[in-house]
Amino acid sequence: MPLDQVVFWVFAPISVGSAIAMLLQRNAVHAALFLVVNFFTIAVFYLVLGASFLFAVQIIVYAGAIMVLFLFVIMLLGVDRDESLVERLRGQRVLGIALGVGIALELIVAIRAGVGFATKAPADFDQVANQGGNAQALSRVLFRDYFFPFEVTSILLIVAAIAVVVLASRSRRSIARAPVEPARTEEAA
Amino acid sequence: MIDLVWLIPALPLAGSALNLVAGRRLGRRAGWVASIALGAAFVMAVLVLLDLLALGGEEREQAVELFEWIRVGSFTVDWTLRVDPLSVTMALVVTGVGALIHAYAIGYMEHDPRVGRFFAYFNLFAFFMLMLVLADNYLVLYLGWEGVGLCSYLLIGFWYARPAAASAAKKAFVTTRIGDAGMMLGVVLIWIHTGSLDFDTVFGAADGLSNAVATAISLLLLAGAVGKSAQLPLHVWLPDAMEGPTPVSALIHAATMVTAGVYLVVRSHALFEASDVALTVVLVIGLVTGLYAALASIGQFDIKRALAYSTMSQIGFMFFSAGMGFYAGAMLLLVCHAFYKALLFLTAGNVLHGLEDETDMRRMGGLRSDLPVSTVWFAIGALALAGIPPLAGFFAKDHIVSFAATSGREVAWVLASVGAFVSALYIARPLFLAFFGERRNERHAHEASWAMNAPLAVLAFLAVVGGLVLGLTAEGGRLATFLEPVLGVPEHGEAFASEATLVAISIALAVAAVGIAFWVWASGRVNWQAFPERQPELAGWLANAFYVNALYAWLVQHPGKGFGRSLTVVDDGVIDGAVNGVGAEVEHASRLAPRIQRGFVRSYALAFLLGAVALLLFLAVRL
Amino acid sequence: MRTPISYFLVVSAMLFSIGTIGVLVRKNALVIFMSVELQLNAVNLALVSFSRMHNNLNGQVLAFFSMVVAAAEVVVGLAIIVTVYRRRQSASVDDATVLRG
């Protein structure tokens, strides 16, 4: 068994398992930790697929920055208590799972029709697409063919940053108008 | 410099934008901004003229392409400015006279709280007018044409709180719109039959047009010109337009906009000549309007309305001249008329200013002692219009009248001479009524400030020497020679009398008219105030301008109102019924919607996913 | 590489479906948001797989852009959750039902 198949068969079950485990956690913090595991496995898949730059980005941005942000917000809001599992919407859970499984099956059918289960990737990926190293090759494509979209994303990030400042800052007026917040009973408890 | 011709319209546009945005903050400085913008445009126009003069006669038609405007299939329109003797002449009049009137308006509008708005509109008008005269194709010309109509509407109704001003603005807009609709059809016809709207291409193709097509195009264009220039039968708006501030009357309704129709006819002369009746129609309309408005002017006691009918009559003479194929004469009258009519209107503004907006000449009289300077200005303007040599109007009018004689149109010559006589009479009348004779108003008028009189001095100077400079040479004058590359040389032969005889007759008529006017209205020997009692019929016909307004009201207004009333019934029963019925049904149906819309975002997401799964399933089955 | 590309695509499809189910059945806005992130990552995985299959890097570039957009989206989304929480003292989406018909 070649190394990449070993890696796949080790990490694929971890990936799917951690995703399902995330779903089943009642506690938001635990869910976040399982999600981190899942992001790590995806990073490993990137490595196997020859995307070593994205591997690094996945770990730094997703597993690092974004998940820290999630955990930070969870702690900030103090919602690290267990979620009630009572479903108020009739049929929501059953229908949701049924449709989720349904879309998975449909996607797999689509993969079979479009790609085929046995299709192997070309062997010369490192010589053709990744010529000179993945990071170098990616930057060539990024800064040559996709330079304008790349610059546009910088505007997007700035706008997002401004939006967050506006959303998260409490203006003086809203403080004056806001009702006195009820005591945080869950912190006391 | 010719490449910079775009600055001529751009400067007033910039001034207008500045005044629109910051007019309130600028306050009374708004007038200076506007005047300097237009003054700078005038300087640019002079520089362009000098450049043009340096070129040879054949090269004096330049087109400066700015950028492409519309391209749809084979239909292209560019923003191209035309620099040729005709457009430069018009641009010089618009910017020169316009700048003087702007400068005058600084003083006149001093106490108006919305002075910034006023000058923004005023400059915008100058911009559109310049686009009109500098355009190199019919669509840009049409843009300017509609733009000046808009500005005219805004400025007539500038004091919109007065009901008379608001309805006069509406009347002007709607009436000219009738003509403009015809003009638009004419432009469309031009495109259909020549495949282009550019002047050069269209005029080049004019000879190839069939007589019927050329006639249709010319008459449709003429409809626009008639509306804009207040000629019969679309003239009714101009006297009412005097509700606007006096500088507006001077600039828009005397010197520039109303002469746009003349410009259009002169500019399109190739099209008019391709038809065998169009020029005759122009001639008849011009002559009839010239006489009609001259007579109506005598019946007016409102000084501004008298001047408005005078403008109408003078433009009639320009149409008359263009109708004879004597375009240079029309242009000479246009330019000279701009000088002395602007002078007359602004002097009337001085009077209004001094008498606290009194416009009725029956309550003026003897203003000579209170307003000595204004009296001089008005006398110069009136005598220039009357055709007393060597003032500007003499040359302009004399060229036209004698051309009628030398081109073998004896009847037209007689009628034009009568018109010239009545013109001298009607313009001498306000001079003597308002400034001479006994005082009929106890109020003490005060003379306008030097800031208002300075532009008048320039205009008066132009009214005195304009004709001498532009119109006095053997070959019809400098202006005619300058315009020759565009307009060609009119054919004319021998008159039935010698040139000197014709000139003598013309001078004699003018002097006689002024003399009669003095005898009737200023000498005190004729009881002119009793005239309406003695001749109620005639006085009524004159004062109401032959009841054309009443005729239109009877023809259009009453059927219109009846039609409107019947439409109300249909509207209430059928249209409102349908609309309300639909509304009620929707309201009924919408009571069902909240049962699904419970506000739970997750159930919405579920519905969304259901759709996605179903769609994928559909695609899978199709595959 | 001997592993068929479709294996990665199948994992991607499964992760995407799990994320979908998470959005539908969980009530905590933060967990729903994490599920959305899981879906995004599943799609990124598919993009990178396709990039490998077609032997060029366009798919990776698209995945890169999607990460940037996701980062912006997370920041704004979390800020919205914080704002909603401040007003309602709850992170459950079932408590935010003002927009009902």
CB within 8 Å: A99 and B623? no
> What pLDDT digit, counting tens, does each position of B258-275 carry?
889 999 999 888 888 888
What is the reported pLDDT for B485?
Answer: 78
Closest residue in C to B595 (Cα) is: C101
Q: DSSP letter for C98, please.
A: T
Q: Read off the pLDDT band of B473 (50, 70, 90).
A: low
> Least CB-CB distance to C101: which of B593, B606, B609?
B593
List the one residue out of B424, B427, B418 whose CA is nearest residue B378: B427
More confident residue, B28 or C75: C75
> What pLDDT digit, counting tens, does each position of C66-81 carry?
999 998 999 999 988 8
More confident residue, B548 or B47: B47
Measure the CA–CA gap between B583 and C1, rounded to whole angstroms: 65
> What pLDDT digit, counting tens, does each position of B479-502 carry?
777 887 787 777 777 767 777 888
Query: How many other C-beta atoms can be found within 10 angstroms of the C-beta atom of residue A85?
Result: 10
In chain A, the N- to C-terminal Cα span, in Å, equals: 54
Pairing of strands B62-72, B75-83: antiparallel
Q: How far is A136 from chain C (nearest CA, A)?
A: 11
Chain B residue numbers touching A103 (CB-CB < 8 A):
609, 612-613, 616
pTM over 0.90: no
Chain B residue numbers touching C24 (CB-CB < 8 A):
602, 605-606, 609
B586, B592, B598, B602: best to mutate for the C interface, most C CBs within 10 A: B602
Containing C94, the helix (H) or strand (E) segment is none
Mean pLDDT throughout B538-550? Answer: 75
Lowest mean pLDDT among B63-67, B197-201, B459-463: B63-67
Q: Examine the pLDDT at C98 and tell me if it is beyond 50.
A: yes
How many CA atoms, within 13 angstroms, populate the side-chain half-sphere of residue B200? 9
Q: B66: helix, coil or strand?
A: strand
Q: B interface toward C at CB cutoff 8 Å? A: 593-602, 605-606, 609
A41 near A79, Cβ under 8 Å? Answer: no
What is the reported pLDDT for B476?
Answer: 64
> CA B157, B159, B163 angle in degrees (round to 5)?
75
What is the reported pLDDT for B474?
Answer: 55
Measure the CA–CA gap between B229 and B312, rounded to whole angstroms: 7
Report the number of secondary-structure helices (H) and strands (E) in chain B: 27, 2
Mean pLDDT throughout B228-245? Answer: 85
Q: How far is A188 from chain C (nearest CA, A)?
A: 15
> CA B499, B504, B508 angle in degrees (round to 5)?
155
> Least CB-CB distance to A106: which of B602, B603, B613?
B613
Contacts of C101 (CB under 8 A, 6+ apart): B593, B594, B595, B596, B597, B598, B599
B300 near B429, Cβ under 8 Å? Answer: no
> What pLDDT digit, counting tens, does each position of B86-136 carry?
888 889 999 999 999 988 888 888 888 888 888 889 899 999 999 999 988
Q: Residue B303 class from Cβ within 10 Å (0-12 exposed, 13-18 middle, 19+ buried)?
A: buried
Q: Read off the pLDDT band of A80 (50, 70, 90).
A: low
Measure the CA–CA gap between B17 and B514, rounded to whole angstroms: 46
CB within 8 Å: B602 and C94? yes
Measure the CA–CA gap between C72 and B337, rounded to whole angstroms: 69
Measure the CA–CA gap between B490 and B475, rounded to whole angstroms: 11
Touching subunits for chain A (3+ Cβ pairs under 8 A)? B, C
Residues 97-156 of A with CB under 8 A from B: 99-100, 102-103, 106-107, 109-110, 113
- What does the mean pLDDT of chain B come to? 85
Measure the CA–CA gap between B505 and B417, rounded to whole angstroms: 9
In chain C, the N- to C-terminal Cα span, in Å, equals: 54
Chain B residue numbers touching C91 (CB-CB < 8 A):
none
Mean pLDDT throughout A27-38? Answer: 91
B597, B598, B600, B603: best to mutate for the A interface, most A CBs within 10 A: B603
Q: How far is A36 from chain C (nearest CA, A)?
A: 10
What is the reported pLDDT for B43?
Answer: 92
List the one residue out of B525, B538, B548, B550 whose CA is nearest residue B298: B538
More confident residue, A114 or A84: A114
> Alpha-carbon torsion B480, B486, B489, B490, what sign?
negative
Measure the CA–CA gap between B302 and B345, rounded to whole angstroms: 12
Q: Does C88 touch chain B (CB under 8 A)?
A: no
